[in-house]
Structure 1
Amino acid sequence: MSPATLDALHRYTLCESPTGDPRSLAALAEVLDADAARAGFHTARETHPTGDHLIWSLPARGVSGDPILLLSHYDTVWPVGTLATMPWSVDGDVLRGPGVYDTKAGLAALLSAAGEIKDQDHPEVRVIVVADEEIGSPSAGDLVRAEAARARAVLGLEPPHPGGDLKTGRRGSTRARIQVTGVEAHAALDPEAGASAIDELVDQLILIRSVVADRPVLLNTGTIAGGGRTNVVAGQAHADLGLRFSDPADEEAVLGALDRLRPVRDRASVATRLLSHRPTWRPGPAGADLLDRIRVIAAGIGRQVDGRPADGAADTNTAGALGHPTVDGLAPRGGGAHARTEWVSVAGIAERTALLAALLTGL
């Protein structure tokens, strides 16, 4: 890895950038846009109150046709202040720090690769760097769909499988909220005048569990909140669910059941809404063809790569599920995503920089 790439990743890591913190995200966005401009990109933004999505375009040189689209993100799961207990460090091949693996090393590798190919022939290169990927990209879906629709290939800069294999499909991922409104009353003097939102919510959660019981669906009730006092029948309650799907038919059935929830209690009301939704991306012919082309290009620079589906979700779900040629996992190898053991391989950054440069000129 070149000293300039290492310096870039160091700067990105020191700019802590948790999802939903617009001030911190804006500080890193300024750094990233400046580096992208130096690498030859035209920079623009789609603004959002919780953080801007960065849109970079490297004009075509000598190659006409549709652009290559790369998808990445600059938000992390780590709150500001994490560096105090999880500092930047380099020990041999192991580089540590919050967000280095997921996925600031991918951004450093991409910008280094773009700088290398500025004077070579290549098609237009488009890059979307999302600000809220770690919570399901609720504000980026339309942007990703529009850009993917006109791309010759969609490349995801999420971390690869352990060892470096690419990702050719992903589970669908949905965050949903069940919101219940009840009727407050004195819990001892007049309980029958009330309708407990918490009791109603429990019944609704049991119902949803029965819907997924015989399906290969992962359901996690991640957050429950409601009520206020033990002597007051709860008037409000909600639960946030995390759902993962491997089959679009199961996804349709479960999300349909959520949409059709009706209250058990006469005076309660139930509403559901999707907080974020990434459709199931199953491997298909377009992705298989793209992987074959990547294998050939990688072999041309002395690298061997393979690919297989992954359990986690990302913005490539949106492109892949629509049938666009999509492959993910092109960030450098490492491990410990979302864990305090997070690390990225120094050699892996150099490997991915070389592969990305070859892909941007060879696809």
Structure 2
Amino acid sequence: MDHSVPAARAWAALPGILADIKRLVACESPSSDLGAVARSADCVAELGAARLGAAPERIVLDGVTHLRWRFGPGPTRVLLLGHHDTVWPLGSLSTHPFNVSGGVLRGPGCFDMKAGLVMAMHAIAALPDPGGVTLLVTGDEEVGSPTSRELIETEASGCAAALVLEASADGGALKTERKGVSRYEVHVRGHAAHAGLEPERGVNAGTELAHQVLAVNALTDPTRGTTVVPTALSAGTTANTVPAYGRFDVDVRVRSEHEQTRLDTLIRALQPILPGADLEITGGPNRPPLEAGASADLFVRAARLADRLGLKALTSAAVGGASDGNFTAGVGTPTLDGLGAVGGGAHADDEHVLVDELPGRTALLTALLADLLVTTPAPDLPVRAHE
């Protein structure tokens, strides 16, 4: 293909890309507000229908609205994956209004990841024939994808590639590794007693909790890239009572599935230290890791296309944060993440997108889609009929 075409088209489309990002940012969509997520889904659907010439399927699971566009009659070969929910509460636009100044675009959720959604739509619209592409836009990624995980895994299974429109890493690097995530709650039960009159009759759940926090913290292993972090914790009821109950949360990040299993075994094997104390451990793996092998071939392909497009050399990054790309990699689908906007400040006051990077990244996505559709065979799966 003529690689100058997507680059020229993307630069010409920049005013429309900016207008589309503004439209999505202006529709606030905190994950916890299902009404706001539904309104955001309407906005994304209307924009997608205008850009793609087709309305999406609306998939509502436990009140959360997800959107899916499937192109062509055959099975999906390339899955484009994004989300329209954000971490920003309603009213954030009043303190963080949409703005473009000095080549920088700002607004709640612009970087993570409404700019990526707009890029996906413009890239698909630029294809001569998008048959074989599916665009899935979920509404609960920021809270761990509790309703969309099965949907994502089903859509990704058997695809030649999953391309995730999460924002880039620092400097525009693509995300070729993501750590797997496990979450646990450690519950400690002791026995209450008066702290001044007869503390010896109690079993101090707070003291037991302290032992367990230290034990969990000691599982961190920098040589393996493993972090095990005790986070929110609480114990006791009043200042003069031996605590009968305590609890704390644990955040685990690992680079490999084997390491995730190893840590799961160790955490579930925790034993109480104080006589009379009991432990209950709940939770477990939340997202499998996106290991380097899942992205290696796609990164090489993307880097080659970036060079042909005259873009700066692509770089890659391993990151601790997770995304829905962890799920696609977990079902064995080659996955490349961080293909969205270049900028920074995700979830923070300085969230922003670099405007001049948008055309090149959109052109790269268009070229990568076209290349995958031409060079990868259709999966040997039953045709998915449009619902």
What TM-score comes out, normalization by structure 1 length? 0.88
Deviation for aligned residue 1:307: 4.2
User: Do residues 116 (structure 1) and 126 (structure 2) align?
Assistant: yes
1:287-302 equivalent positions in 2, closer than 5 A = 287-302=295-310
In the alignment, which residue of structure 2 is the partner of 1:271?
A: 280
Deviation for aligned residue 1:199: 1.9
User: Do residues 211 (structure 1) and 216 (structure 2) align?
Assistant: no
In the alignment, which residue of structure 2 is the partner of 1:314?
A: 323
Equivalent AA in structure 1 for residue 91 of structure 2: G
In the alignment, which residue of structure 1 is the partner of 2:163?
A: 155
Give the counterpart of 2:106 among 73, 96, 99.
96
Per-residue CA deviations over 1:257-290 (Å, capped at 9, x if unaligned) read: 1122233334433222227622222211x53222
Does the Cα contact within 8 Å between 2:176 and 2:317 map onto a contact in 1? yes
Deviation for aligned residue 1:143: 2.2
Give the counterpart of 1:342 among 327, 331, 351.
351
Percent of residue pairs bearing the same amino acid type: 34
In structure 2, what is the Cα distance between the partners aligned to 1:100 and 1:12?
Answer: 8
Question: How many residues in Structure 1 have an aligned counterpart in Structure 2?
Answer: 356
SS in 2 for 1:211: coil
Equivalent AA in structure 1 for residue 83 of structure 2: H
Does the Cα contact within 8 Å between 2:61 and 2:147 map onto a contact in 1? no
Does the Cα contact within 8 Å between 1:168 and 1:307 map onto a contact in 2? no
The verdict on how the C-alpha distance between 1:257 and 1:100 changes in structure 2, with shifts beyond 3 A counting, is same
The verdict on how the C-alpha distance between 1:138 and 1:57 changes in structure 2, with shifts beyond 3 A counting, is same
1:43-58 equivalent positions in 2, closer than 5 A = 43-49=57-63, 51-52=64-65, 54-58=66-70
The verdict on how the C-alpha distance between 1:192 and 1:157 changes in structure 2, with shifts beyond 3 A counting, is same
In the alignment, which residue of structure 1 is the partner of 2:190?
A: 182
In the alignment, which residue of structure 1 is the partner of 2:6?
A: none
Per-residue CA deviations over 1:199-221 (Å, capped at 9, x if unaligned) read: 22211111112233575322332
Give the counterpart of 1:245 among 254, 266, 284.
254
Deviation for aligned residue 1:12: 1.6
SS in 2 for 1:212: coil
Equivalent AA in structure 2 for residue 44 of structure 1: R
In structure 2, what is the Cα distance between the partners aligned to 1:324 and 1:280?
Answer: 13
Equivalent AA in structure 2 for residue 11 of structure 1: R
Deviation for aligned residue 1:105: 0.5
Does the Cα contact within 8 Å between 1:155 and 1:327 map onto a contact in 2? yes
The verdict on how the C-alpha distance between 1:127 and 1:287 changes in structure 2, with shifts beyond 3 A counting, is same
Runs of 4+ in 1 over 6 A off after TM superposition: none
In structure 2, what is the Cα distance between the partners aligned to 1:315 and 1:72?
Answer: 8
The verdict on how the C-alpha distance between 1:27 and 1:65 changes in structure 2, with shifts beyond 3 A counting, is closer
Does the Cα contact within 8 Å between 2:157 and 2:332 map onto a contact in 1? no
In structure 2, what is the Cα distance between the partners aligned to 1:155 and 1:355?
Answer: 12
Per-residue CA deviations over 1:203-242 (Å, capped at 9, x if unaligned) read: 1111112233575322332211232211222233221222
Give the CA RMSD over aligned residues: 2.4
Q: Name structure 1 gaps, 5 residues minimum.
A: none
Q: Name structure 2 gaps, 5 residues minimum.
A: 1-12, 373-387
Deviation for aligned residue 1:343: 0.7
Equivalent AA in structure 2 for residue 245 of structure 1: V
